[in-house]
Amino acid sequence: VQHAMAYAATLESVKAAAAIIKPYAKVTPVLTSATLDALAGRSLHFKCEIFQKGGAFKFRGACNAVFSLPEQSANKGVVTHSSGNHAGALALAAQMRGVPAYIVVPWGAPRIKLAAIQTYGGLITQCEPNVPAREQAAAKIQAETGATLIPPYNYGPVMSGQGTISLELLDQVPHLDAIVVPVSGGGMISGITVAAKGINPNIKVVAAEPVGVGGHGADVAASKAAGHLVDCPQPDTMADGLRAKLGDLTWPVVRDLVDEVITVEEPEIVAAMRLCYERMKLVVEPSGAVGLAAVLSPQFNANSKLKTCRNVGIVLCGGNLDLDALFKSLTR
């Protein structure tokens, strides 16, 4: 394990973020379900980031990033490229600070996420749904406006903001043996991990990752297994918030400090979502249910390192999904 100072986020930077976002972000509740405990054969503690402002954990990182900018920079605005939750979160944080937010969104992003960006006053530019196109469009806006680029995950202040989930969760449930975190770009898991291990070095942190249709999209699992970043095709998954790739700032934390990666398939995500709705009465988007899917998977139960984890925290990271189909089906 490398010395923690090498990382873009540390326990100290996460504590500083907690102080910055305190006036704006919500302390989200931890909920439990006896039914799900029985299914999992362990005690599950659900950190409900679905109740965070903007409907997802992303507000924490965006808020820390926006409010830690010096005034001169902030006044020129912020820019990002994102498929949804980070974009909405950044627009909201910028609106709270009274500065413009320029948002590059790929074509085909969920309508509900576009609507959220507009509600929060974000200025939308649409582009082709691939990373180079997104980066190009954002760079153009930066050049024209002088806005500060706030990346969705591969950025210290964002990682530190997401890490505040750990501070709250370990305050709410100090006896956790493990925390399970959905992963793609790694902003949330890297912040959570440096903070959680800083507080309790023995706690296990587990990444939950969709493999997608065809089963080839799990780049975190592949990279962990290889010991270096492995390029995988983008996962074809309903978890639209989990299609990014690890960055050069998030990967070192995942490489050195994350204990295990559990991969899940599409039907497992649907089953976990359904349990959240039916048993816990919680609206969770597919990406948000991936942690529960991992804990209920045979892989998790067969893992010798995780067998002894009795008390498990699961981050329900977001609840922004298009419910049109549901309500249409109810309309006579």
Measured at the CA of 187, the angle between CA 120 and CA 273, to 5 degrees, comes to 75
Using CA atoms of 112, 118, 123, 129 in order, give the dihedral in degrees to the nearest 10: 10
Alpha-helix residue ranges (DSSP H) falling in the chain: 11-21, 34-40, 58-67, 71-75, 85-97, 111-119, 131-145, 156-172, 187-199, 219-226, 251-257, 266-280, 286-296, 298-302, 324-330
**58 an active-site residue?**
yes
Give the closest residue to 240 by CA, choosing from 126, 89, 85, 91.
85
Q: Cβ neighbours of residue 1 under 8 Å, at least 6 residues apart? A: 256, 257
Give the closest residue to 214 by CA, choosing from 196, 186, 233.
233
Strands 178-182 and 148-149: unpaired
Catalytic residue among 83, 160, 166, 287: 83
Contact (Cβ atoms closer than 8 angstroms) between residue 127 and residue 137: yes
**83 an active-site residue?**
yes
- What span, in angstroms and rounded, lies between the C-alpha atoms of 190 and 269? 22
Catalytic residue among 53, 58, 197, 204: 58
What's the distance, CA 311 to chain centroid?
A: 21
- Give the catalytic positions in this structure: 58, 83
